[in-house]
Structure 1
Amino acid sequence: MLHVPSFIRIQDVADILIMTFLLYQLYSWFRKTRAMQVLLGLGVVTLIYFATRFLGLYMTSWILQELGTVLIVLIIVVFQAEIRQALYRFSLLRHLFETQKETQQSQFQEVAESLFGMAAKRTGAILVFQRSESLADLMLNGVRLDCEITPQILEAIFADGTPLHDGAALIRDGRIAVASCHLPLSANPDIPQFMGTRHRAALGLSERTDAVVAVVSEERGEVSLAVGGELRNVASPEELVAFLDKLISPVREKTGISLSQHVFSNLLPKAAILLIVITFWALITSRQGLITTVTVPVRMHGIPDSLVLVRSAPEEVDIQLKSFSSLTPLPSKLDIAADIDLSGTREGQTSVRLKHSDFNLPSGMTMNGINPTSIKIVTERKEQKTVPVRVALRGRLGRGLAGYRVAAEPATVVVEGPATQIARIDEVTTEEVDAGRLIKGKEYRKNLLPPLKMVSILTDEAVSIRLVVGRKEP
């Protein structure tokens, strides 16, 4: 059964709105391309996959899950150009590094007169005006020109029989940048049959980018303008100049478009995408209400420098976790622990109550219960003491060493620990030394052994052991 969360957090609302915005942007960019048809098919397959999981059809859901991985790879390979363009549109920094020169209205006038002149002569042409988005990946096999915009050059490019006649010319930064480029064709099945390859190429580029494409029909002698995947006929040079000036020239004054117009325009696809996102959100969060009991360790920090933690019990506690999402990993695979702050602890036995904030829970999980709800700790005052170092000898000294003794340097060390244990320590011993192997004049290095479990020696260095005469200091 599908368990819809009993309450919705602010994070959930933000999650739904962000995904709705992103999906609507993808829909706006791909809605008239072949990529849109594939995305719709992939969405249907995804819905079927969730339905099979919900109905318990394990074999079908497993097959769809395995096929999904292959389909994603195929989509990346087949639609790599569209994906690059989408990522380019998402880039927030591209405007900082791109500088574009304005195409003057006088140039639009020359372009319009040239295009209508070619239309009167039934000379076909495609002229692409680049705006904010790069066209490098979509305009292929072009010949670089980088020349001024003049009617003579435009007519020479598209004149019948010239090497640059086939393909499109690109106008960028107020200059003719490239000619004889191949454009991607539109896969829109609603394009009328009488439109030829030039019109399909113009629509194909305008569907994928924000470019403005002007087309001259060789058969009908008409001038058309393709923008955003839509084609419109232009009746006169003046009308074409007005369109180009409006679409390409920088906006000098902000048009007063209200927030409500942005939100409620094109409402039907927005509402459909919002409904799809809410459905997926409900499916993803359907595991809410599933409570799992997990045993986690108890860790402590912040003990005052003047105290030592002697005992704590228990060392593990059981917690009940509730998951909000099926995307959250299983609790058994997470490093969850109770991390208790003991900075306010005093000497003696204390009962510390466990709080929900003591546990490092991942996002998407809440805690329902803790057992036991508190732990008992015992702390003692920390003390230091200077004690002598005794060399642990095994056996007796060799022949000729009767007047010698074994000495350690340093002769004393400082130990630190709980007061009750420090009071029981009178000396610290070294690692065992074989007395029969000691040689006069040679120095040996041995580590000190911890006297008790909770007592530490305030030096990490090994002590020096050697033979000395009688009771004299070396």
Structure 2
Amino acid sequence: MTFLLYQLYSWFSRTRAMQVLLGLGVVTLIYFATRFLGLYMTSWILQELGTVLIVLIIVVFQAEIRQALYRFSLLRHLFDARRNEQGSHFQETAETIFNLAGSRTGAIVVFQRSESLADQMLNGVKLDCEVNPQILQTIFIDGTPLHDGAVLIKDGRIAAASCHLPLSVNSEVPQHFGTRHRAALGLSERSDAVVVVVSEERGEVSLAVGGELRRMATPAELIAALDEMINPVRETTRNSLPRMFFSNLLPKAAILLIVSVFWVLITSRQGQITTVMAPLRLHGLPDDMVLVKGLPEEVDVQLKSLSSLAPLPSRIDIAADVDLSEIHEGHNTIRIKASDFTLPSGMEMSSVTPAAIKVVAERKKRKTVPVKIVVRGTPKGMKNVIVAVDPATVVVEGPALQVAHIDFVATEEIDGTRLVKGKEYRANLLPPEKRVTVLREEPVIVRLMSRGKK
């Protein structure tokens, strides 16, 4: 983690992305501070803003993110068709650049290395020609169609001219540097390209690499720098490994300290075991079976925390999803498995008590029974009338033993004194048993009828 974070730091240390990341780090610290102090409204607002900020970062810094992913690609060199022909052109190219500086002609020459510059250099005119002094001088002469922009040298050839480069947003760039120097620094901040810039006002030649700009005094110095950066001779020296570890020691030590602190915080609750109650959720019961009894209704689960990133056991809601698809009629014993629980990341189940549950199932049965009207009182002034119901019978469904003892289904109690002949009334049916269901959702219709009339 220290190595990966240091690579990100070295790539983005002089770009606007690093400034935004530092600002987000401060906001994150404020968020945790507000949570620790119990400022719930402020922490909630910052948490909601965090979701939006992630989307904004992806949209605004998509070029930097794409470049970082490209740098992480270890296989990119297998697909790069690079040719080591640039070294033979550095002598003539350096002399031509200093000739342009002597005539106070502004120029930007970009040397592409391992990283692609397709997303950074825009609006260029493709050329694909050899590098020679005549072409370079012709391109940058004031008044020609291609003089305003940068020249891209790729694989030892001039690939494009009049290219637009991204400007640097570094506030520490000296004020006397113009647009050319800011463009050279901007491209070097976002890629590994080597950019040579010629000042039109001062006649100076500068080299921009990795967001840093240094002046080149002579063509020989420029040739040596290009040879070292573009076609380096990779030699392993005895002191290269110590130099690699001890260079930029302060940021490396700071990043190592930050990673260590987070590691301690993440593993601080590792191994902590807590017992929680988990209800049983039974599913998968066969269509021809009815569940009569299931014990117990809850189980005790011991949870082991693997990291402090996992939520507190008191704040999580877990349940055991028990599959009943394999049960048979009668008494069944079903073991509770770890796969029956869905746990958050960073937690695992140590044990469950009891380890098994007992359920009783019976075959499902249907039966048609009459509807019994429950009437309290008699209609006033009504003689020779009866109370009729429609429909007269309904179907009930449930465990076979319970359904066998059901002879009728009663309606809810009806006040007979309010019944009027010729009007219809609706009455709900009462369930006859706890696990027996009446297969009718609508109320029955009750009316008064003359005695003897069907």
CA distance in structure 1 between the aligned counterparts of 2:187 and 2:171, rounded to whole angstroms: 8
Higher deviation after alignment, 266-275 or 462-471 = 266-275
Counterpart of 1:87 (choices 47, 54, 65) is 65
Change over 3 Å in CA distance of 1:425–1:200 after alignment to 2? same
State the match for 1:235 in structure 2: 219
State the match for 1:449 in structure 2: 430
Q: Deviation digits for residues 118-172 of structure 1, max 9, x if unmatched?
A: 2121344446789536459xx9xxxx998999856633269xxxxxx9xx83568
The amino acid across from 2:341 in the alignment is F
Is the contact made by 1:122 and 1:218 (CA closer than 8 Å) also made in structure 2? yes
SS at match of 2:101: helix
SS at match of 2:149: strand
Higher deviation after alignment, 321-330 or 213-222 = 213-222
Change over 3 Å in CA distance of 1:430–1:305 after alignment to 2? same
State the match for 1:434 in structure 2: 415
Offset at 1:276? Answer: 5.9
Aligned residues: 391
CA distance in structure 2 between the aligned counterparts of 1:377 and 1:355, rounded to whole angstroms: 16
Counterpart of 1:302 (choices 268, 276, 284) is 284
Counterpart of 1:407 (choices 374, 388, 391) is 388
The amino acid across from 2:64 in the alignment is A
Change over 3 Å in CA distance of 1:317–1:178 after alignment to 2? closer
CA distance in structure 1 between the aligned counterparts of 2:177 and 2:164, rounded to whole angstroms: 22
Change over 3 Å in CA distance of 1:451–1:84 after alignment to 2? same
CA distance in structure 2 between the aligned counterparts of 1:422 and 1:226, rounded to whole angstroms: 90
State the match for 2:353 in structure 1: 371
Is the contact made by 1:133 and 1:209 (CA closer than 8 Å) also made in structure 2? no
CA distance in structure 2 between the aligned counterparts of 1:442 and 1:114, rounded to whole angstroms: 109
SS at match of 2:188: helix
Is the contact made by 1:407 and 1:465 (CA closer than 8 Å) also made in structure 2? yes
1:229-378 correspondence runs (5 A)? 229=211, 233=216, 235=219, 277=259, 280-378=262-360
Q: Deviation digits for residues 289-335 of structure 1, max 9, x if unmatched?
A: 21111112122112222222122222122221111111111112212
The amino acid across from 2:398 in the alignment is G
The amino acid across from 1:235 in the alignment is P
Is the contact made by 2:366 and 2:395 (CA closer than 8 Å) also made in structure 1? yes
Offset at 1:413? Answer: 0.9
Change over 3 Å in CA distance of 1:112–1:210 after alignment to 2? same
Q: Are 1:419 and 2:400 matched, yes or no?
A: yes
Change over 3 Å in CA distance of 1:113–1:460 after alignment to 2? farther
Structure 1's unaligned 5+ residue stretches are 1-18, 53-57, 93-104, 159-164, 248-264
Is the contact made by 1:445 and 1:463 (CA closer than 8 Å) also made in structure 2? yes
Change over 3 Å in CA distance of 1:91–1:33 after alignment to 2? closer
Is the contact made by 2:329 and 2:363 (CA closer than 8 Å) also made in structure 1? yes
The amino acid across from 1:86 in the alignment is E
Change over 3 Å in CA distance of 1:215–1:90 after alignment to 2? closer
The amino acid across from 1:392 in the alignment is V
1:181-196 correspondence runs (5 A)? 183-185=168-170, 187=172
The amino acid across from 2:268 in the alignment is S
Offset at 1:91? Answer: 7.4
State the match for 1:26 in structure 2: 8
**So what's the TM-score if we normalise by structure 1?**
0.63
Change over 3 Å in CA distance of 1:39–1:392 after alignment to 2? closer
Counterpart of 1:383 (choices 341, 350, 365) is 365
CA distance in structure 1 between the aligned counterparts of 2:419 and 2:16, rounded to whole angstroms: 89
Change over 3 Å in CA distance of 1:114–1:459 after alignment to 2? farther
The amino acid across from 2:423 in the alignment is K
Q: What is the root-mean-square deviation in Å for CA atoms of aligned residues?
A: 5.3
Is the contact made by 1:146 and 1:178 (CA closer than 8 Å) also made in structure 2? no
CA distance in structure 2 between the aligned counterparts of 1:82 and 1:27, rounded to whole angstroms: 18
Offset at 1:278? Answer: 6.2
CA distance in structure 1 between the aligned counterparts of 2:366 and 2:100, rounded to whole angstroms: 100
The amino acid across from 1:455 in the alignment is V
SS at match of 2:441: coil
Higher deviation after alignment, 224-233 or 127-136 = 127-136
Is the contact made by 2:293 and 2:360 (CA closer than 8 Å) also made in structure 1? yes
Is the contact made by 2:168 and 2:189 (CA closer than 8 Å) also made in structure 1? no
CA distance in structure 1 between the aligned counterparts of 2:21 and 2:403, rounded to whole angstroms: 73
State the match for 1:132 in structure 2: 117
The amino acid across from 2:335 in the alignment is R
Offset at 1:453? Answer: 1.3
Is the contact made by 2:268 and 2:308 (CA closer than 8 Å) also made in structure 1? yes
**So what's the TM-score if we normalise by structure 2?**
0.66
Is the contact made by 1:291 and 1:322 (CA closer than 8 Å) also made in structure 2? yes
Is the contact made by 2:367 and 2:395 (CA closer than 8 Å) also made in structure 1? yes
State the match for 1:169 in structure 2: 149
SS at match of 1:287: coil
SS at match of 2:308: coil
Q: Are 1:466 and 2:447 matched, yes or no?
A: yes
The structure showing larger relative contact order (alpha-carbon pairs under 8 Å, at least 6 residues apart) is 1
Structure 2's unaligned 5+ residue stretches are 71-85, 128-134, 153-158, 232-242
Change over 3 Å in CA distance of 1:147–1:319 after alignment to 2? closer
Change over 3 Å in CA distance of 1:279–1:46 after alignment to 2? farther
